[in-house]
Amino acid sequence: MPGQGILSDLRIVEASAFVAAPLGGLTLAQMGADVIRIDPLGGGLDFDRWPMSPDDASLFWCGLNKAKRSVALNLADPEGREIAMSLISAPGEGAGLFVTNFPPRGWLDYDKLKARRADLIQLTLQGDHKGGSAVDYTVNARVGIPYVTGPVGYEAPVNHVLPAWDVATGHLVATGLLAAERHRSRTGQGQHVKLALEDVALSVMAHLGFIAEAQLGCARGRYGNDLFGAFGRDFVCSDGRRVIAIGLTLKQWNSLVEATGLAQAIDAIGARRGLDLVKEGDRFLARRELGTVIGDWIAARPFADVAASFDRAGVCWAPYQTIDELVGVDPACSVDNPLFDSVDQSGVGRVLVPRSALRFEAFEARAPGTAPALGEHTEAVLGEILGIDGAGYGRLCDRGVVCSPKRR
């Protein structure tokens, strides 16, 4: 799907499953790169990943593979693997980029591929730095986040629902490929780039101070919905609707005090506790008392009144929404937000589909793209990149190297 876009001269081959590697490819595809995903006939490990549409299409797969081209090959057949290797190592200045989260063996082996194209860039996503396997859920359990998430006093771990480490890693895959391609365009040198999901999680835990905190002997506790180190939490309005209000910066805090008109009560809390509430950390220390007076104020008012007061004073706040509410009533999650198009996705129907969140002013906004049917582009890609003509393709089909019997 080459065309307009800041990366439209790049071609990336992807052999992947699940979130991180496909999200890396998606990120580049939505910026205009020609991303060709290679799958086995019948689909890879993530082809039926839930959620599914009533017509049995994976909303997950469609979401993570839009704007890509799909090549399906019989990878159990040496001829299928040969074609895959030829696609990965095909010539072209903006080509020769490969991303995978499978073990880099067999047809995915960097050295073998490099023998075909010396300046190949391969990014291999691993579970851990030794090449062992790990998934978002196991990494999250290891790094300790589930024990600091959830209600105070709750004993069990709380898993995250958003695969945050996968998402963080997916975006870093895109960064890594662009950096390596930048280097190659200057020096002619390709390379193998490795990235471990576990390392991404560990490095972020360190960047945010969690690891140093524990090393200094005061590992993070479980603070429920309280924002650590400042003021911020959830509240319930008189009509049962919930809001989050934040006083992280002093400006945010002053807005919250102004909106609620509670300056006097809040000053009294500071005086009683001997805390200087101008300091964000002191607001955290006084979070219970502050939460009580602000919570009482909010609990006495319906959502609409709270929202109006908060907006008037410029409070940093938001309603808690269910995903249904997000989709049903939030204008940011609609075509009113230029992020979204309403797109007819085969097997799914008309749904909101986002384009790249990165808006490059020098380029028109691109269509977000739809997910391909499995193997939709096999014939075209084999023709275009490997020069396989219609007759040649027919013979591959007859030998079962291409053309999924399941999905024809």
Q: Which residues are catalytic?
A: 166
Shortest distance in whole angstroms from residue 355 CB to its own copies: 8
x-or-dash string of contact with its own copies, 151-170, rule CB under 8 A: x--x-xxxxxxxxx--xx--
Which range of residues in 81-89, 296-304, 359-367, 396-404 is near its own copies by CB under 8 A? 359-367
How far apart (Å, rounded) are the C-alpha atoms in residues 373 and 269? 62
d(CA 34, CA 366): 13
| 199, 289, 305, 384: residue in contact with its own copies (rule CB under 8 A) | 199
Pairing assessment for the beta strands 191-196 and 231-236 based on DSSP bridges: unpaired
Shortest gap between Cβ of 96 and its own copies (angstroms)? Answer: 14
Nearest approach in angstroms of CB 395 to its own copies is 32
Q: Which is nearer to its own copies, 146 or 394 (CB)?
A: 146
What is the phi-psi region of residue 121: left when phi exceeds 0, alpha when psi lies from -120 to 50, beta otherwise?
Answer: beta
Q: Cβ–Cβ contacts within 10 Å for residue 361, how many?
A: 4
- Of 192-200, 256-264, 288-296, 400-408, which part binds its own copies (CB under 8 A)? 192-200
Strand partners, 243: 235, 319
By C-alpha distance, which of 127, 128, 124, 86 is closest to 107? Answer: 86
Residue 352, Cβ neighbours under 10 Å: how many? 15
One residue of 36, 71, 90, 202 binding its own copies per CB under 8 A: 202
Q: Which stretch binds its own copies (CB under 8 A): 68-76, 264-272, 301-309, 347-355?
A: 347-355
Q: 15, 35, 196, 262: which one contacts its own copies (CB under 8 A)?
A: 196
Query: At 62, phi and psi to the nearest 5?
Result: -60, -40
Q: Is 279 in the site for its own copies (CB under 8 A)?
A: yes
Tell me which residue of 92, 46, 57 sits closest to 385, measured CA to CA. 92
Cα 59 to the chain's mean position, in Å? 15
**Between 46 and 379, CB nearer to its own copies:** 46
DSSP secondary structure string for all residues of 143-175: HTGGGTSSSTT--S----SS-HHHHHHHHHHHH
Window 62 to 121, contacts with its own copies (CB under 8 A):
62-64
C-beta closer to its own copies: residue 175 or 296: 175
Please, which of residues 297-326 interact with its own copies by CB under 8 A? Answer: 316-326
